Chains A and B, each alone.
Chain A
Amino acid sequence: MTESTHAPTVALPRDAAGRLANGLPKALSGISGLDEITLGGLPRGRPTLVCGGPGCGKTLFAMEFLVRGAAQFDEPGVYVTFEESEEELAANVRSLGFDVEALVAQGKLAFDYVHVDRHEIEETGDYDLEALFLRLDDAIASVGARRVVLDTIESLFAGFSNLALLRSELRRLFRWLKDRDVTVVITGERGDGTLTRQGLEEYVSDCVILLDHRIEEQISTRRMRVVKYRGTSHGTNEYPFLIDEQGISVLPITSVGLEHRVTDERVSTGVDGLDAMLGGRGFFRGSSILVSGTAGSGKSTLAAHFADATCRRGERCLYLAFEESRGQIVRNMRSVGIDFRARLEAGNLRIEACRPSLYGLETHLAQIHAQVGEFEPHAVVLDPMSNLANSNHTLDASAMLLRLIDHLKSRCITAMFVNLTGGGHTLEATDVGVSSLIDTWLMLRDIEAGGERNRGLYVLKSRGMKHSNQIREFVITSHGIDLLDVYAGPEGVLTGSLRASQEAREKAAAIAREQEQQQRQRELAFRRAALDAQIRALQQEASMLDEEIGAQSEQYVLATDTMEQQRQATVRRRGGEETA
């Protein structure tokens, strides 16, 4: 059994008696996704009609309802089959992982094959179907059944000719089943213009589920719709569903709503330069990232870095490739220094490659759901999502991606979507119009100039974090991606060799400027030195003059003294009489 992978995840408000808050008691079907749509399962103690065309999955639906009831919810079941024998049924569902025989052996499941062959039977008067009731009663008692499947009771209409009697007996049967408080699934073949050929919906008025298997553009798609569910609200859309190794899984379109858990945790993008552009720490965990760009702009390489970084942290990454095979991806990424082989062997990485045209969108979506459920990755890369859009209508693709993003967000899985932008479109428009759902949008673009093509990367938006508004040059080397600052000077944004030559030119000019400056410095220093010399000469001259001035003044005093002495001497010599 595989019940562990399909454990019910719905948590609905209930009162103490296990009744749902909106009043009607329900029985969890255990069918993945159905309980979300029906807000808790099928109406407990009442019949549910499951109808659809041949091969739409009615029998499987009914069987899964019983098997999961018996294995997961401790509600034993009785399967009344009118078309196939017990052995045939068991063989048919064994490939889906349901071990019916084991459940029968444990006394949790009972089968009754009601075979009515009109050729063997002659009707000779009044009769009723009491024996059918007795058989059912006996089977219910033998396992203590809480669930009953009638698949498909319409066969009785082929076995008996008294239709009025048959209809009144059916009405009595449903009444009888309700009285026994068992939850019943009745299957019915879809009729022409009616839900069932024999108008079973007339008897089963509580819940009607329509299954549909249609082919659109040669691609098969299964869908489910709850046509009616009396006394409770339910999802009314057509929900795609898938039948795989684990039974039915329905994909509720908007079942998760916008109630995502959010986290502040950040995860590396795998490229240091890009982490730096996103506030230095990378993406938010559980956010959705869109990488878009034209062909050959390095989208896949960027996605591979992200996948590699996820694995390097010891987490799991699911890489869904719609363009390249696994081997091709491994080889190509080796050329940029990413060893995916080792990641695959370590079990951190899983690459699932398939052509978008192989299945319908719903099947893809369902498979992605199933893989996510099984592998439980921390990150998912979808490369490229634009291919999915090509394979079907844009509207469908958009709805599908919306559901996928919702689903991944609800599980806090970081999702990276790679989108190829067509040549003729605006770069900022995605083919499938999911841009509004994206948290972080990285744009890769070609920058053509000077006869070469270079790659530029910028962050178009990134919710809830500071991010760089710069365009970085994106260079793929043999050891991975390098982000370089582009030349953004007065001559515009330059990349590649133009950037290199511009940088060289700038360098030369700088050297020249420096030399000129040094020359000027030297000149000024020389002039200054000359001036100093002049100053020194003048100072010398000045001090010489000072000396001369001192000497001259001394001479004068000396001379004056001398003259006075001579005059006095003359006086003395003339008589020694001093004229007073």
Chain B
Amino acid sequence: MVRYLLGRVGQALAVLALTFTAAFLLLQVLPGDAIMIKFMSLDMGLTADQIAEIRASYGADRPLWERYFTTVGNFLTGNFGISIQAGVPVSQQLATNLPPTLLLASLAFATALLLTIVLAAVSSMVGMEWLRNGLQSLPSLFISVPVFWLGIMLIQIFSFQLGLVTVISPGPVERLVLPVLTLAIPISAPLAQILMRNIDQVLAQPFIAVARAKGASRNWVLWRHVARNAIMPTLTIAGVLFGELLAGAVVTEAVFGLSGLGGLTYQAVGNHDTAVLQAIVVVSALAFVTINLVVDLLYPVLDPRLGTSMGAVT
């Protein structure tokens, strides 16, 4: 187990290093850079000599390999550089924006899971065919709703029309209600689709008929046998979908005017703020790698068969 764990952590670090390098190179390939955008724009009215001095002061005139190793060294010592556009250290931007995004993403993820489970459970337990069909078609609806539109609709209805929540400088809990819903609904859709289909598939298997024949109630079978078997593929997808939370957060944060990595990414992309983007890529890669590691480690806990087969391989 320890060897397995070390192997997986090693893989994770390799992925991180590759992501870092790829991001660095790709950001260099883009036309122009943050210094050019900030200072060379005709609006600044600076002369060519002044711009050359500025470039030199940022080390932007150094060769590529030198800048790469400087950046690696800086990251290893926790120095993420400076946002040229915003004029603040990237670490300060991360400190402001990372915690709210993590909170939003985790709450949205938890809400999405809750929505999924409730939807799947109710639709499998409910007897009436029409209601069941209705519930089962909800995810298709959720998945086709654009996050942007959903956010604006929720604000218009619950804040501007009904006045139930404030959007501009709200309280700490109030701040999160609508954004979490906005983000959770589209994420819950693919999860619910997969979970529902799996429940149907597992229900059709012979061992269910055996359990029912032995006198187990439908609900008992659902919770004891079906749920456990149906949750595995959902878990895999959930790991992948966590990444989509960041994409969704860009829109959600813009619509609700929240601090977060989403808005920061949007601004940084617009201005080619390389240092900021580099840091965001590394933080996101770290999150991805961690989530996938956790999901992989959860498999054997949920399904003992995976644990033994793994043992057999090693």
Question: Are the chains A and B members of one assembly?
Answer: no
